Every structure is written in C-alpha cells, then in structure tokens.
Chains A and B, each alone.
Chain A
Amino acid sequence: MNQLLTFIRKEFLHVLRDRKTLLILFGLPIVQILLFGFALTNEVRNANIAIIDDAHDEASRSIIGMIAASRSFHAHALPGGHSSIDETFRSSGVKLIVLFPANFNTDLMHTQRARVQIIADASDPNTASTLTTYVSAIIADYQKARVQTTSLPYTISTNVRMLYNPQLKGAPNFVPGVMALVLMLVCVMMTSIAIVREKELGTMEILLVSPFKPMLVIVAKVVPYLLLSLVNVASILVLSVYVLDLPVQGSVVLLVAVSTVFIITSLALGLLISTITNSQQTAMLFSMMGMLLPTTLFSGFMFPIENMPLPLQIISNVVPARWYYIIVKSVMIKGLGFTAIWRELLVLVGMTGLLIVISLRKFKVRLA
C-alpha cells in the first residue's frame, strides 16, 4: 500500500511539473464550455433581417413591432423596394427579408386571405430555416391574437410545449456533449501518454524488474487521472450551473457516479492504446484520431444519430461517448433517475469490462 502511494505521488508530481499538460487538463473544459456557451451556438440571436413594408397599415405595423421586439432579430426597414432584394442579400449581412404587400390589412379583413413573403438566405440552411420558423411563429401569434378579438367559428389552436428546455437553449444539448468530449480526451490521451512515456524512457523496465507489481503500475497510473477528471466534471457542472444557468435536474450523485464509470471506460481505452504503441507521439495520434473524431461525430451532440445512414448508426453504437451522452442528458436535463438509464449504463459498464480485460491481457507482465 505504501509502495502504491509512493507511486501515485510520483504520478502527481509528473502532472504538476508539466505546466503545458496542466493547462490542457484544466483549461480545456473551461474553454470548451465558454466556447460552446457563447460562441459556437445554434441559437439565432441578433440576426440581421430587413423588412419591406408596402402596406403601411395597422396589421403590418403590428407584426413589424413584434418582430422588432424579438431578441432574435435586428430588424431594419429596406427603403429601396423590391429591386434591391438581390443586392441586399449579396452585399449586406441580411439573412432574411419580410415583405408585406400593399393592402395587407384590407386583404386580411375582407378576403380573409393575406400574404406575407419571407425570403431567406439559404446558403446557410440551418439559420435560414430557424429564422423563417421564428418569423412564421410571430405572424401566427399575431393571427391568433386577432382571431380571439374577431371570433371565427372554427379554429384549431396548437398548444406547443417544449419539454425540458422551454427556451430552446443550446446549453442542454452541448454541456453533456462537452463533458463526454473532455473526459474522453483527457483520460485517453493522458493515460496512454503517461504509460508509453515510461516505455519510451526505459523506466518501465526498471519498474518491471522491481518487486512492484505490474498491475499496481497500472493502478498508480490511472488513479491521478481519475481524480483530476472528477475535478473536471465538477468544474464543468459548476460552470454550467452558474455561468450558463443550466441546473442539474436529476441527482448529482447519480451524475457523478455515471461520470466515474465513463472516466474508467476512457482510462481503459487509454491503457489499451498504451499497450499497442511505443512512442508518445503515436499514442497521442491514436488518441486524437481514434477517440476525438468518433466522439465528436458519433456521440450525437453535434450531429443527430437518427439522421445518419444506417451503417453509421450501427458504428455509433460502439462509441462509448454515445451512451454516456444519452445518460447525462437524461439525468442532467430531464431529471430522470436510475430506472431510466440502467440499460445505457449496462452497455457502458459492459464496454468498460471488456476494455479492461483486453488491455490487461495485452499489458505484458513479462517483457518476453
């Protein structure tokens, strides 16, 4: 036991001595959370849109007022008229133009059929469809308000509720994703490098000729990164609660427990990489290509898995981050308990067990 503590202390010294690693270790989660929280977001805010109002009547002005009040847009009137539409899209940063034809209100009152044209810059399809949805929603709101005052005989009013995330914020989606990404990256890369470094420097041989058990070498290598990763989990959660206003809906204990399982999965992966590589650079390359890429692509937080072709959906099943992502979302955002996540957790635990068995077998006890 004393021997193990000596070893763990040494591992901590390695980590603490290496300022660059330390910066990556603790800077990465903070930078990622802040980046995703404030810069890389799918939410549309302050989009430049232009309005051509040929009607200048009560209805068009009301709608324009509602659009202008929305935080999503930065609206301004386009004085040049129809001929300038193409030019506006090409030269200014305008993403969408709303066009009210003349006699808008009159049409609405007398023919009960009024038209509004929405023209969007679809070179960025996501933004275009988000913006048109927003504008349509505002117009629908206005219509609903009018219907209530005039009372038509038949109306279907849709009552939409956005569960778990009523404001459609981006954070509930990416915080679990960032957690998966950061833990994967830190654990896999750091452990594989920490073990391979001993091989590269020749100190592994010294350790193996010592009476120190090879199994304990692995334990000692893994423990510091397990602890440091838990610190990372804590800092991500603190940031998301206090900076991004995203409270943990479910049990924090369950969340930390599940994260610990995922950290162990990642550590086992790192161990596996260290057994098949002999230099720190190869280990790093393996970790980056083999872990980072599939984790971003197949965990589901950047690209919905349901939208992928079937073969890719099947591949995504072997990516541990995919299961962790589902679990974190369930616990953290939906506030679900153990009964809702046990299947995913079982998959994760199974993967971890398999990885540990394979990597321990590969870890050569005797160098023969």
Chain B
Amino acid sequence: MHDVVIRTQELSKHFGAFVAVDKISFDVPAGEIFGFLGANGAGKTTAMRMLSGLSRPTSGAATVAGFDVFTQPEEIKRTIGYMSQKFSLYEDLTVRENITFFGGIYGLSDSAIKEKSDLLIEQLGLQGEVKKLVGSLPLGWKQKLAFSVAMIHDPKIVFLDEPTGGVDPLTRRQFWELIYAAADRGVTIFVTTHYMDEAEYCHRVSIMVDGAIKALDTPRDLKQTYQAPTMDAVFYHLARGAQRSAD
C-alpha cells in the first residue's frame, strides 16, 4: 500500500442552511486515479474546492499531501495541479507564452521554465505550433496542453474537474493516456467526470448523491455489488434516489 495523500474525515460544507457536502470520508493513496462521480449539484465541485484550498470547510478534517486544509491552504496550492471544466489557458497567448506564464506564477526559475517547456512541447508534438495562438489549436490539443500546463510544477496531486467535456471519444482516449502516464510516475489523479466510460478507467470510483458519498470501490467491485453490467447502470441505480435537482 502506498502512502495516503488525500484523507478526509467527515468533511462538510454548509452554505447557510444548505448542506452542500455532507460528512464525506475517504483516503486516496499516492499514484491512484480516483474518480469522483455525481450528478450536477451533488457537491462534487464544492468538495474539490475544499481539497484544493479554494474553499474553507465548515467542519470535519482533511489533509492533502500531508497539509491541513484549514490551516495550510497555501502549502496545498504549491503541491497540487488543477484543471477545470472550462478550458483554462489563455487563447490570445501563444503555446510557449502560456507555458511560460503558468510556470512563472508557480515560481519556477527562467531556466527551469525553458527546460520544462521544451520537454513539454516535444512530448505533445507541438514543435510546429509553438508560436501559434492557443485559440487556433484544435480542442483536443488545447486540453492536452492544459493538462501538461497543470503539471508544470511537478505536483503530487492533480485535480481534474470534468477535464474532457465536449471532446470526442478518440481524443478523450488520448487524454486518458496522459493521465495514466502521470499516474505511473506516482502522481495522484483526482478526477470528476460525467462520462461513465471514463469511470471505468479509474482505479477507484466514488459516487456522490445529495452531498454524501453513496458508494466507493473499484469499478469492477461496484458492478458486482450492484449487479450491474456497466458503470452507467451502477450510477443510475444510485443517483435516481437523489432529492436535489440539477442546478
């Protein structure tokens, strides 16, 4: 068993009387691809924001890479990468300018940025597009670039908030190859998704309904437990009891 890099204990977030996240507890070991599933409004994004230091939990406890979410959000920010559902690069900057900028705000030295961006451009096969504006690239490439940029400071954990929204299945597949490669290097991947085929790619999957975690296991065991042929069916079985409507 690897070290635990994310640990939450009865972590909750209330907005007034509304309980967005209701006492969630789980451990994520290093190098795992942890799928975080739930319908819209189930509380996934709120949970993820608490873990990434953006939002202060109401109660409970959680550590990310050994840092406390209540007292050490700045240390957490330094050790994690983040890519959101909205495409998160600047379209009016070139490929290299984007890499330089994000490297820069993570405090990388100029020489480190140079080295990193050369490597990254080579890995993604973007040599010909370095001076092109990101806005002119196809969506699949943008997404791969965004993922690589989120990894530029060698984070221990990467949070991906619906990273493959609006991308065709083939590109999604290629994107997941990047994720696997990162996990093989020991990076922990915490990913939310709407696509059930992607849920199958995860090592373990948790399913959130109405702010609470209803199930957490490997995709295979989940299918067995709920006697369902696909993850889609498992999700449907658990989520149809939801009280909250999608927002």
Contact = CB atoms under 8 A, between A and B. Distances in A.
Interface in A37-62: none
Given A368-B55, A368-B56, A7 B77 contact: no
Contact of B86 (A201, A208, A210): A201
Interface stretch (A10-18, A312-320, A338-346): A10-18
B66 interface: no
A3, A9, A206, A208: which has the most chain B beta carbons within 10 Å? A206
Nearest to B48: A209
Interface string B155-190: 000010000000000000000000000000000000
Interface string B1-43: 0000000000001000000000000000000000000000000
A120 B123 CA distance: 81
B13, B74, B101: which has the most chain A beta carbons within 10 Å? B101
Interface of B: 13, 49, 52-56, 74, 77-78, 80, 82-93, 97, 100-102, 104-107, 133, 150, 159
7 contacts: A7-B101, A13-B93, A201-B90, A202-B87, A209-B54, A209-B77, A367-B49
Interface residues of A, number: 25
B117 to A, nearest CB: 13
A164 interface: no
A212 interface: yes
- Chain A interface SS verdict (over half): helix
Interface of A: 2-3, 5-7, 9-10, 13-14, 17-18, 201-203, 205-212, 366-368
Nearest to B52: A209
B147 to A, nearest CB: 12
A139 B239 CA distance: 94
Contact of B77 (A202, A203, A211): A211
B153 to A, nearest CB: 9
A3 B54 contact: no
Nearest to A368: B55
B105 A3 contact: yes
Contacts, number: 85
Contact of A3 (B49, B91, B104): B104
Nearest to B20: A368
Nearest to B149: A206
A253 to B, nearest CB: 35
A211 B74 contact: yes
Contacts of B159: 209
Name the 7 nearest CB pairs between A and B, nearest first: A202-B86, A6-B104, A368-B55, A209-B82, A212-B105, A211-B77, A17-B92
A53 B83 CA distance: 86
B90 A368 contact: no
A196 to B, nearest CB: 14
B90 A210 contact: no
Contacts of A13: 92-93, 97
Given A10-B93, A366-B56, A205 B104 contact: no
A5 B55 CA distance: 27
B54 A368 contact: yes
B93 A366 contact: no
B88 A202 contact: yes
Contacts of B49: 367-368
Given A13-B92, A14-B90, A212-B106, 19 more contacts: A3-B105, A3-B107, A5-B104, A6-B100, A7-B105, A9-B101, A14-B93, A201-B87, A205-B88, A206-B83, A206-B102, A209-B54, A209-B77, A209-B159, A210-B105, A210-B106, A211-B78, A211-B105, A366-B56
Contacts of A207: 105
B53, B91, B104: which has the most chain A beta carbons within 10 Å? B104
Nearest to A367: B54
A14 to B, nearest CB: 6
B78 A206 contact: no
Nearest to A200: B86
Contacts of A366: 54-56
B86 to A, nearest CB: 3
B14 to A, nearest CB: 11
A10 B52 CA distance: 25
B84 A205 contact: yes
B112 to A, nearest CB: 12
A356 to B, nearest CB: 23
B82 A205 contact: yes
B104 A209 contact: no
Nearest to B74: A211
Contacts of B101: 6-7, 9-10
Contacts of A210: 77, 82, 102, 105-106
Contacts of B105: 3, 6-7, 207, 210-212
